[in-house]
Amino acid sequence: MHFDATIFFWLFLIIIAIQPILKQKLLENARIRLIAEIEKKRGSRVILLVHRQETMSFLGFPIMRYIDINDSEEVLRAIHLTDDETPIDLVIHTPGGLAIAATQIARALSRQKGKVTVFVPHYAMSGGTLIALSADEIVMCEHAVLGPLDPQIGQQPAVSVLNVVQKKPISEIDDNTLILADQAEKAIRQMKETIIEILSNKNSTDKAQDIAEQLVSGKWTHDYPISAEIAKQMGLPISTEMPKEVMLLMNLYPQPVRQSVEYIPVRKTGKVFKKIRL
């Protein structure tokens, strides 16, 4: 009897251990099927750049993900495996990340001969916005947002560092601040040049310069949410016709931590509520 109980105990532990792995595999298979369905329907290459909050496997506390060199390498490989004439659909959900990684992706996409469409279901801030600028069309949900591209020096906005230096006599400014100001000036100039380079492949130079100035000049704080309406007024190629398949795809990238928002997924059709099935 003791032997049977021990076996049951170990079987229980094994089931508990493999359950997250099985769940992850099922999600991955569901994503692959839906991506294949979208590619067939749109005749495109679908690439996803999705950063969710993740949980460390052993310690169990959440960590934030962002655009890094690994992401740029993976996206660039996907682009290189795509024929020049094949449209690319890139789904972005990210708080931003490394400028060099985002720039590499944006440059590669801006040089594609086929149509590039960037889908923003919820938000693509900072480096995510830089990537979105490379698109022929940016498709945003009604409440999705982009973000400014003003460079940050350490924890400080580059524009703010320059403002301090310009408003105070040199004799009252320490050497470290002057060095930061020098770096800030270079960072702003480089970001403007990068944006103009990316936009000029599909826009006039004047339009590219105007958009770059609005995004880099410090008009907004770095976390300011640029809505679809504001982005359209800036001159970006915005559409709000988000395919339902893209939103369903985002459902297959759940947060691994417990959510603070819960609801029963139903869609209202007239007076009838129908449950949404994936």
Q: Among 180, 199, 224, identify where a domain stops.
A: 224
Structure-block tokens of residue 38: 């979208």
Please check whether residue 3 lies inside any domain of the structure: no
* Residues 38 and 62 placed together within one structural domain of the fold: yes
Taken in order 187, 189, 195, 197, the sign of the CA dihedral is negative
Q: Name the average pLDDT for the chain.
A: 85
* Residues 139 and 232 placed together within one structural domain of the fold: yes
What percentage of the chain exceeds 70 in pLDDT? 84
Q: Which domain covers residue 188, as residue numbers?
A: 148-224
Please check whether residue 159 lies inside any domain of the structure: yes
* Residues 118 and 156 placed together within one structural domain of the fold: no
* Residues 66 and 152 placed together within one structural domain of the fold: no
Q: How far apart are CA 203 and CA 236, in angstroms?
A: 10
* Residues 134 and 181 placed together within one structural domain of the fold: no
Q: Among 208, 224, 240, identify where a domain stops.
A: 224
**For residue 85, what pLDDT band results from cuts at 50, 70 and 90?**
very high
Query: Using an 8 Å Cβ cutoff, are 151 and 212 in contact?
Result: no
Q: How far apart are CA 215 and CA 245, in angstroms?
A: 30
Report which residue type is found at 81. L
Measured torsion, CA atoms of residues 181, 187, 193, 194, in degrees rounded to the nearest 10 = -170
Confidence (pLDDT) at 166: 85
Please check whether residue 232 lies inside any domain of the structure: yes
Report which residue type is found at 232. K
* Residues 64 and 96 placed together within one structural domain of the fold: yes
Q: Where are any strands of DSSP class E within the chain?
A: 45-50, 54-55, 62-63, 88-93, 116-120, 123-124, 137-140, 145-146, 152-153, 156-157, 226-227, 238-239, 266-269, 272-275
Confidence (pLDDT) at 268: 53
* Residues 174 and 88 placed together within one structural domain of the fold: no
* Residues 73 and 205 placed together within one structural domain of the fold: no
* Residues 173 and 198 placed together within one structural domain of the fold: yes
* Residues 125 and 156 placed together within one structural domain of the fold: no
Listed in sequence order, the residues at least 6 apart from 84 whose beta carbon sits closer than 8 Å to its beta carbon are 112, 113, 114
* Residues 122 and 245 placed together within one structural domain of the fold: yes
Please check whether residue 1 lies inside any domain of the structure: no
The 10s digit of each residue's pLDDT in 190-219 is 999 999 999 998 899 999 999 999 999 999
Q: How far apart are CA 45 and CA 79, in angstroms?
A: 9
Number of domains in the chain: 2
The 10s digit of each residue's pLDDT in 112-133 is 999 999 999 999 999 999 999 9
Please check whether residue 92 lies inside any domain of the structure: yes
Confidence (pLDDT) at 266: 60
Please check whether residue 263 lies inside any domain of the structure: no
Over residues 141-148, the mean pLDDT reads: 95
The 10s digit of each residue's pLDDT in 39-78 is 999 999 999 999 975 544 444 444 567 899 999 999 999 9
* Residues 105 and 164 placed together within one structural domain of the fold: no
Q: Is a pLDDT exceeding 70 seen at residue 146?
A: yes
Confidence (pLDDT) at 253: 83
Query: Using an 8 Å Cβ cutoff, are 88 and 117 in contact?
Result: yes
Q: At 121, which CATH number?
A: 3.90.226
Listed in sequence order, the residues at least 6 apart from 208 whose beta carbon sits closer than 8 Å to its beta carbon are 195, 196, 199, 200
SS3 of residue 237 by DSSP: coil
